[in-house]
Structure 1
Amino acid sequence: MLQSYRRLFALPHLKSLLFWSLTARLHIGGMPIAVTFLVAGWTGSYALAGLVSGGLTVGTALGGPVRGRLADRRPADRLLVASAAVYGAGLAVLALLPGSLWWLAVPLSVVTGVFLPPASQIARSLWPRVTSGPARQTMYAAEATLQELLFIIGPLLAAAVVGAAGGRAGVAVLTAVSCIGAVGFAWALRRAGYTVPPPPAAPAPGRVRRSLLADRGVLAVLAMCLLLVAGLGGVDLVMVAWSRELGSPGYAGLLMAVYAAGSLVGGLVAGGMSGPPRLVRRAFATAVGMLPLIVLLPPVAHVPSPWLVAPVLFVAGLAIAPTLAAVTERLGDLAPAHRRGEAFGWLTTANTAGISVAAPMTGWLIDAGGVATGIAGTAGFALAAACLSPLVAATRPAGSAPATDGPPPAEPTGPAGSARPPDAP
């Protein structure tokens, strides 16, 4: 298993590209916490705080395909820096806004969310250019695994800063992290020579450019991701509700960390496996892993300690990162090389929609029948995603095999053999 990672990280510039692409996304998991505390401090209302935090989410979803298309057509380093400047300025205004003008935070958050630096779209579009074959599978598994860490570290960072210095400081620190990460990723791309997007393929005679949503395979991937993320997001809400019923809200974070730890271990193991990923098996394993929780949670059962459920949560999480890695890699194969940014932009929108669907639906199920009913609903979402996986796995790009573009040819060297990016002035 370690040999696969050694080969992967021996590729030139890969460690720098991966590190900075993840740093540019580190703030995403913590920003809702910081914004919630900021707005709740102004208004005393968590509903209004959720409205502002939701505005960022809506803006991110609306801008996903647009940012992706720009990433397919514009130099990536310039796009990252420009979007970071606008995104950072919007969040800075939000952090400095007087509490009496809280209502301005709603439209401001929507507009700011549209300009989220497209680090994830650019990175996921880049991996098929940097890697091929088994190395590509390891790359997507490593990214999915490390992204689980982001959703642990980001909220912890936000909570620590908010607890020490308040909501304004929390938003300010996460804004700085997002801008530094985006600029660092732009620098890494320029240093590696990957700032220019691949040229568009010549269209077939008489064929017009279609929306990616008209492609059955791409649409199936997006639908599967929406349902899968809805199921995964619902589990977090169930853990919060159960912890509140127990009278110990702190259990929620610990239980979710156990779930994420299972995903981390599963992703690391999957990244070291040889052979193509078996998407159908992974998707059904993710759904089936949730089922034992139904009979372990109230009102079906009342375990004496939530730690008795922790091993089940760990096992249930094992298939998450491998499934996310496989479906992300599948989308990269299905989308044309010159439109991958747009495809991953739509993936951002689908994931955001999944979270938006999960919250009210799971909450309604918990209110109606308890946390066991809520987990049954999340398992239903995951099972529906798994039922789509055979269609996703069987679909091939129209008229071709999956994309296998590997690393770019060797670039000309300057004096003393120093590499010179092809777009350097």
Structure 2
Amino acid sequence: MSPRTVLTPYTDLFAVPGARAFSSAGLLARVPMSTAGLGSVLLVEGESGSYALAGAVAGTNALSFAIGSPQWARAMDRVGQSRVLRATAVLSLVVGLAFVAAVVSGAPHWTWFALAALAGGTAANVGSVVRSRWANVLPEQGQRQTAFAFESVADEVVFVVAPPAVTFLAALIAPPLGFLTGMLIGVVGALVLSRQEATAPPVAPRVAGQPRTRSRVLTPGLVAIGITYLAVGTVFGAVDVVVVGFAEDEGAPAAAGIALSAYAAGSLLAGLAYGIVKLPGTLVTRFLGAALLFAAAAQTLHLVGSLTTLVGFAFLAGLAIAPVLIAGMSVVESRVPRASLTEGLTWTSTGLTVGLTAGSALAGIAVDHWGAESAFAVPALGAALAGLLAVAAWLVLRRTPAPAGSPAEAEVDAGADAGAPA
């Protein structure tokens, strides 16, 4: 089979009018997703000399984003993506500049926390925005799976390329430059994306004189997936911290970057493959299978004993990341009414963000008390918990009817779940 034939599902995606433009703009707009936390850590530590303070400020930013982004997504579903994207881009720029100015000028620390919270709370989850656009322009579920796979790969590209660039700018030029660069790229991308109104999901019309009805988004099934993703997020946050600690213990701190790149590379390759392969079963059973694979693959981290094995096992564990993210997003996309799709996808991502913050904190405690090698138990146990929660989510989804207005697969009964492709 030729490379052209293998990549045909992806090339077909970008034959859709407007797809190349909104996906490219979305790639730029999501850069802050990978740089806001790291950039704020480098900025605060560079100005204050305190990693503890830097971590607390970055955590405040992340938690505020987790709370605020679903509210912006809800507004997008009600009034349109373009208006909200323009508002969040301008607010992010103003608040981000104020945050940098407060840190550099030595303002009281409480202002750093307040502005970090505002910076996180004014940011939109662009990954969900782009995925909802794919769902709007692609009529077939198989095409949407390929599109979601591509967006997962785009996420990995951002996380591989942007953080080293931000670190370089902050370390070699000036601490504020890393945070500012990521923020400005994101603002430009969001403004460009906001101008592409033709591919945005339509807003449900409102009848004059009638109150606006709101679709129920937080169904038991979506909540179950969000909780599963919270456990998945703890794995991501813990791996970052433990890998850095282990590399430092081994006397080669630069090797942490190699190991984390291998982790991301495994996910990137798996994401590309997931978008091409035609898998059996319904969306729900694929999610369960991917989650169990994720849980099993992470157990290899218990075997890490050297930098060489770290890189190898990180790559193997990474192979299970993209499938569980794509499968879960696909289930949510199929189970959420179209009028609330952006919000539904954003709530799912919120679970990842909260989990990532918690995982980083837990892993830091484990490294301090157990040592880095033993602390690999934190991401391994987090992945095992994600597998158990996925089983619970699978049971909930099998017993929960799809909401009205959602494009859920027709085969929701046990017979369909046994193997009919969705």
Q: Normalising TM by the smaller chain, what interval?
A: 0.7 to 0.9
Aligned residue for 2:32, secondary structure, equals coil
1:60-209 aligned at under 5 Å gives the runs: 60-97=65-102, 98-103=104-109, 104-131=111-138, 132-187=140-195, 189-190=196-197, 192-194=198-200, 196-199=202-205
Structure 1 contact 71–118 (Cα < 8 Å) conserved: no
What residue in structure 2 maps to residue 423 of structure 1?
none
Structure 1 contact 96–168 (Cα < 8 Å) conserved: no
Q: Compute the displacement of 1:26 (Å).
A: 1.0
Separation (CA, whole Å) in 1 of partners of 2:204 and 2:215: 19
Structure 1 contact 52–109 (Cα < 8 Å) conserved: yes
Separation (CA, whole Å) in 1 of partners of 2:403 and 2:51: 52
What residue in structure 2 maps to residue 250 of structure 1?
254
1:313-392 aligned at under 5 Å gives the runs: 313-392=314-393
Structure 2 contact 85–124 (Cα < 8 Å) conserved: yes
Listed one character per residue, the Cα deviations across residues 200-227 of structure 1 (whole Å, up to 9, x for unaligned) are 89xxxxxx967533x2101111011101
| Identity rate, percent | 26
Q: Among 20, 25, 29, which residue is 1:24 paired with?
A: 29
- Which segment drifts farther, 273-282 or 57-66? 273-282
Structure 2 contact 238–379 (Cα < 8 Å) conserved: yes
Q: Compute the displacement of 1:166 (Å).
A: 0.6
Structure 2 residue ranges without an equivalent (≥5): 1-5, 208-212, 410-422
Structure 2 contact 295–384 (Cα < 8 Å) conserved: yes
Change (3 A) 1:23 1:198: farther
Q: Compute the displacement of 1:292 (Å).
A: 2.2
Separation (CA, whole Å) in 2 of partners of 1:209 and 1:75: 15
1:370 aligned partner, one-letter code: G
What residue in structure 2 maps to residue 45 of structure 1?
50
What residue in structure 2 maps to residue 269 of structure 1?
273
Change (3 A) 1:244 1:382: same
Structure 2 contact 271–323 (Cα < 8 Å) conserved: yes
Change (3 A) 1:2 1:242: same
Structure 1 contact 31–158 (Cα < 8 Å) conserved: no
Change (3 A) 1:49 1:313: closer
Aligned residue pairs: how many? 389
1:355 aligned partner, one-letter code: L
Separation (CA, whole Å) in 1 of partners of 2:21 and 2:214: 35
Separation (CA, whole Å) in 2 of partners of 1:117 and 1:142: 20
Listed one character per residue, the Cα deviations across residues 333-364 of structure 1 (whole Å, up to 9, x for unaligned) are 11111112222232232122101221222233
Q: Compute the displacement of 1:307 (Å).
A: 2.1
What residue in structure 2 maps to residue 217 of structure 1?
221
Q: Compute the displacement of 1:284 (Å).
A: 1.4
Q: Compute the displacement of 1:371 (Å).
A: 3.2
Q: Does 1:229 align with 2:237?
A: no
What residue in structure 2 maps to residue 296 of structure 1?
304
Structure 2 contact 18–199 (Cα < 8 Å) conserved: no
Structure 1 contact 231–382 (Cα < 8 Å) conserved: yes
Listed one character per residue, the Cα deviations across residues 293-317 of structure 1 (whole Å, up to 9, x for unaligned) are 21233xxxxx4xx124322221221
Structure 1 contact 39–102 (Cα < 8 Å) conserved: no
Structure 1 residue ranges without an equivalent (≥5): 202-207, 298-302, 406-425
What residue in structure 2 maps to residue 57 of structure 1?
62
Q: Does 1:13 align with 2:14?
A: no
TM-score, normalised to structure 2, is 0.86
CA RMSD of aligned residues (A): 2.4
Separation (CA, whole Å) in 1 of partners of 2:289 and 2:202: 37
Listed one character per residue, the Cα deviations across residues 131-165 of structure 1 (whole Å, up to 9, x for unaligned) are 12211110111111110111111202211221332
Structure 1 contact 26–153 (Cα < 8 Å) conserved: no
What residue in structure 1 maps to residue 415 of structure 2?
none
Separation (CA, whole Å) in 1 of partners of 2:215 and 2:137: 27
2:223 aligned partner, one-letter code: L
Aligned residue for 2:31, secondary structure, equals coil
Change (3 A) 1:367 1:134: same
Separation (CA, whole Å) in 1 of partners of 2:60 and 2:299: 33
Listed one character per residue, the Cα deviations across residues 99-157 of structure 1 (whole Å, up to 9, x for unaligned) are 32142221011112111034223222222211122111101111111101111112022
Aligned residue for 2:33, secondary structure, equals coil
